[in-house]
């Protein structure tokens, strides 16, 4: 049995990804929580082992060897709590992203209202909506039943009925769901998540409770103009665990080690971002997190504790990579390439990577392709996520990224890039931030682990968020406005701690780097021209801001918002190379 994380000393975090499983150890050293060590092994969710616990134990074996600490007993079980001889850990958390996306059918009254909210809830975890049912589709019960029997979904999400609203119409939508659950063999029946009118909960339990594994969540559409997904996410996380336990051996064992708190990795990542947003609430900006992995690309944005999570399973850099071409063209990927790659070679790389998701880029050209794919995946996910941001989020201009502070990014394509400059340019191109923000890299891939422990042990989260784990790449200044290429748009003067100054006149289209050593503070005076907005109170307004140096000091990105790229391929590649050279990549 696990202990309360509030009273815990050491903590083990297990991260079971699509390609690798990692075991991460935190403990108190000199009065502070610190990341001590991690072990990694290939994930064993698929053939021939089909048991995630094998990969977990291999990762634990490596961690034990590195840390010089016994964590697993002779019975092959995790030692919880820690023992007087120093073996074991006081608590365990785990996150999971391995496995195919959950097949989801979204059910609601109106396609663009409650049915859309059911789909939006599904996109907060590793899922793919394969069918939508609503009163608008005009199918009779038999037609909906045929669709459910053919698709055999893992999960049916039912929304509909505002609080105090329609009941009879929702009841009629349940008929096909109940019949499908009755006709399907017990081992193939879907999980059912009801997130609609709370007045119908008893009726839903009576009609579906004996036919399916039924879960009840808060209404995702309490009124026509309000959508709230966060309260329903814990129930969705429980559904995710149930489905994965049915699909994979070892899930129940790991879940037992965590006292039933195994989380989808994306949900844990979102918890971290939500917790940080509460700390940064005074800035009037949101906090943004981006994580790109083999199974999906995740964007988590939080504003004063309100989380907006978007997971795109078709945009992972692993087995589902070819599905990216359902959302964009090859030309859209090629626009981010600084080297010349033919359509055939690019397409071949996509399909080979899908077959061997654990493979690493072996040449500079393959690395360029990998980073172009990451850039496109982040850009597409950001486009999907932006539509769900609240109206009160501060937008510099419609269609652009709201103001965030900070932006945290993770994923091996970024953390294992040959140079940090390549990671920075990938993020700047994909996100195109506005105003003033800080970009930090989750270089040890700890964000999800910290998020899994955040609610019960916020002290661990706060103390582990330091420069040894989250590397400050730079402070980014991104002026927004309109001017001719090459026209002066910003004057900047940096005053350093020793009193000396550095001035730069920034032109439209330029990417400038102002030196400021890591961890040191400087005073940056900004004077925008031609009514450019640098996030200091409106168009044309300047001022002085205190900035902290990162790996690249302060970067002024005056390339325009949205970012424009030349249509001529040769000119575009040269420009991309120039930007990489600017940040020593």
In a domain, 33, yes or no: yes
Q: Which two tokens stand for residue 512?
A: 């400038």
- Residues 403, 486, single domain; the answer is yes
In a domain, 118, yes or no: yes
Report the CATH number that the domain containing residue 178 is assigned in CATH: 3.40.50.2300
- Residues 134, 237, single domain; the answer is yes
- Residues 367, 393, single domain; the answer is yes
- Residues 323, 203, single domain; the answer is no
- Residues 93, 222, single domain; the answer is no
For residue 112, count CB atoms less than 10 angstroms from its CB and return exposed for 0-12, middle for 13-18, buried for 19 or more. Answer: exposed
In a domain, 285, yes or no: yes
End-of-domain residue from the set 235, 255, 275? 255
- Residues 72, 201, single domain; the answer is no
In a domain, 2, yes or no: no
In a domain, 1, yes or no: no
- Residues 448, 398, single domain; the answer is yes
Asked if residues 264 and 448 have their Cβ atoms less than 8 Å apart, the reply is no
Report the CATH number that the domain containing residue 21 is assigned in CATH: 3.30.420.40
Asked if residues 112 and 380 have their Cβ atoms less than 8 Å apart, the reply is no
State residue 286's pLDDT score.
93
Going by pLDDT thresholds of 50, 70 and 90, the confidence category of residue 282 is confident
In a domain, 559, yes or no: yes
Task: Kindly report, residue by residue over 524-557, the tens digit of the pLDDT.
Answer: 999 999 999 998 988 899 999 999 999 999 999 9
- Residues 35, 141, single domain; the answer is no
Task: Kindly report, residue by residue over 177-227, the tens digit of the pLDDT.
Answer: 999 999 999 889 999 999 999 999 999 999 999 999 999 999 999 998 889
Write the DSSP symbol of residue 403.
P
End-of-domain residue from the set 247, 282, 316? 247
- Residues 208, 303, single domain; the answer is no
What is the SS3 assignment for 94? strand
The Cα 444–Cα 470 span in angstroms is: 8
Compare 366 and 162 and report the one with higher pLDDT.
Answer: 366
In a domain, 464, yes or no: yes
Q: Which residues contact 28 (CB under 8 A, 6 or more apart)?
A: 9, 10, 34
Write the DSSP symbol of residue 53.
H
- Residues 222, 293, single domain; the answer is no
- Residues 59, 154, single domain; the answer is no
End-of-domain residue from the set 255, 285, 307? 255
Task: Kindly report, residue by residue over 313-342, the tens digit of the pLDDT.
Answer: 999 999 999 999 999 999 999 999 999 999
Distances 309 to 125, 233, 273, 381, 382 between C-alpha atoms, Å: 8, 10, 10, 11, 11
In a domain, 223, yes or no: yes
- The per-residue pLDDT of the chain, averaged, comes to 92
| Distance spanning both ends of the chain, measured CA to CA | 49
Please give the tally of structural domains in the chain: 3
Angle among Cα 282, 123, 54 to the nearest 5 degrees reads 100
Whole domain around residue 270: which residue ranges?
266-582
Compare 135 and 342 and report the one with higher pLDDT.
Answer: 342
Determine how β-strand 543-548 pairs with β-strand 521-528.
antiparallel
Q: Which of 436, 441, 465, 440 is nearest to 546 (CA)?
A: 436
pLDDT at 361 over 50: yes
- Residues 63, 130, single domain; the answer is no
Compare 135 and 343 and report the one with higher pLDDT.
Answer: 343
The Cα 432–Cα 562 span in angstroms is: 7
Residue 341 CB coordination number (10 Å): 20
State residue 446's pLDDT score.
94
pLDDT at 394 over 70: no
């Amino acid at each position: 049995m696990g202990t309360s994380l509030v009273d815990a000393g050491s903590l083990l975090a297990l991260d079971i990804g699509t390609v690798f499983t990692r075991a991460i150890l935190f403990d108190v050293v000199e009065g502070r929580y610190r990341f001590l060590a991690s072990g990694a092994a290939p994930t064993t969710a698929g053939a021939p082992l089909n048991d995630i616990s094998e990969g977990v134990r291999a990762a634990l074996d490596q961690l034990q060897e590195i840390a010089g600490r016994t964590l697993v007993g002779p019975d092959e079980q995790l030692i919880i709590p820690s023992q007087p001889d120093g073996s074991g850990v006081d608590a365990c958390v785990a996150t999971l992203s391995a496995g195919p996306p959950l097949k989801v059918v979204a059910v609601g009254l109106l396609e663009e209202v409650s049915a859309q909210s059911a789909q939006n809830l599904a996109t907060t975890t590793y899922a793919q909506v394969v069918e939508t049912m609503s009163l608008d589709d005009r199918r009779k019960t038999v037609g909906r039943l045929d669709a459910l029997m053919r698709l055999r979904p893992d999960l049916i999400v039912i929304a509909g009925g505002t609080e105090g609203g329609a009941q009879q119409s929702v009841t009629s939508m349940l008929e096909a769901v109940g019949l499908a659950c009755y006709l399907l063999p017990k081992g193939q029946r879907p999980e059912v998540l009801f997130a609609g009118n709370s007045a119908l909960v008893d009726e839903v339990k009576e009609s579906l409770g004996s036919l399916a594994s039924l879960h009840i969540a808060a209404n995702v559409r309490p009124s026509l103009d309000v959508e709230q997904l966060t309260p329903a996410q814990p129930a969705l996380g429980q559904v995710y665990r149930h489905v994965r336990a049915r699909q994979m051996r070892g899930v129940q064992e790991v879940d037992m080690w965590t006292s039933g708190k195994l989380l989808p990795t994306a949900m844990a990542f979102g918890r971290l971002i939500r917790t940080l947003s509460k700390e940064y609430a005074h800035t009037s900006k949101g906090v943004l997190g981006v994580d790109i992995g083999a199974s999906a690309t995740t964007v988590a944005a939080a504003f004063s504790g309100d989380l907006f999570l978007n997971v795109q399973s078709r945009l992972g850099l692993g087995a589902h990579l070819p599905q990216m071409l359902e959302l964009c063209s090859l030309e859209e990927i090629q626009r981010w390439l600084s080297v010349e790659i033919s359509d055939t070679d690019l397409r071949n790389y996509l399909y080979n990577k899908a077959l061997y998701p654990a493979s690493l880029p072996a040449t500079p050209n393959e690395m360029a392709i990998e980073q172009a794919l990451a850039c496109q995946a982040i850009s597409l996910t950001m486009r999907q996520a932006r539509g769900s941001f609240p109206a009160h989020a501060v937008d510099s201009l419609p269609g652009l990224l709201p103001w965030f502070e900070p932006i945290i990014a993770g994923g091996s394509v970024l953390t294992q890039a040959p140079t940090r400059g390549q990671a920075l340019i990938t993020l700047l191109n994909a996100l195109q931030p506005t105003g003033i923000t800080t970009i930090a890299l989750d270089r040890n891939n700890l964000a999800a682990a910290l998020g899994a422990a955040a609610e019960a042990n916020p002290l661990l989260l706060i103390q582990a968020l330091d420069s040894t784990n989250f590397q400050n790449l730079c402070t980014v200044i991104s002026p927004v406005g309109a001017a001719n290429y090459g026209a002066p748009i910003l004057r900047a003067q940096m005053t350093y701690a020793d009193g000396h100054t550095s001035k730069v006149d920034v032109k439209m289209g330029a990417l400038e780097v102002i030196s400021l050593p890591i961890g040191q503070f400087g005073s940056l005076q900004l004077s925008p021209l031609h009514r450019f907005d640098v996030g200091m109170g409106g168009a044309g307004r300047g001022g002085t801001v205190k900035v902290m140096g990162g790996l690249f000091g302060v970067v002024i990105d005056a390339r325009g918002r949205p970012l424009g790229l030349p249509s001529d391929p040769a000119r575009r590649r040269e420009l991309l190379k120039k930007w990489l050279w600017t940040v020593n990549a």
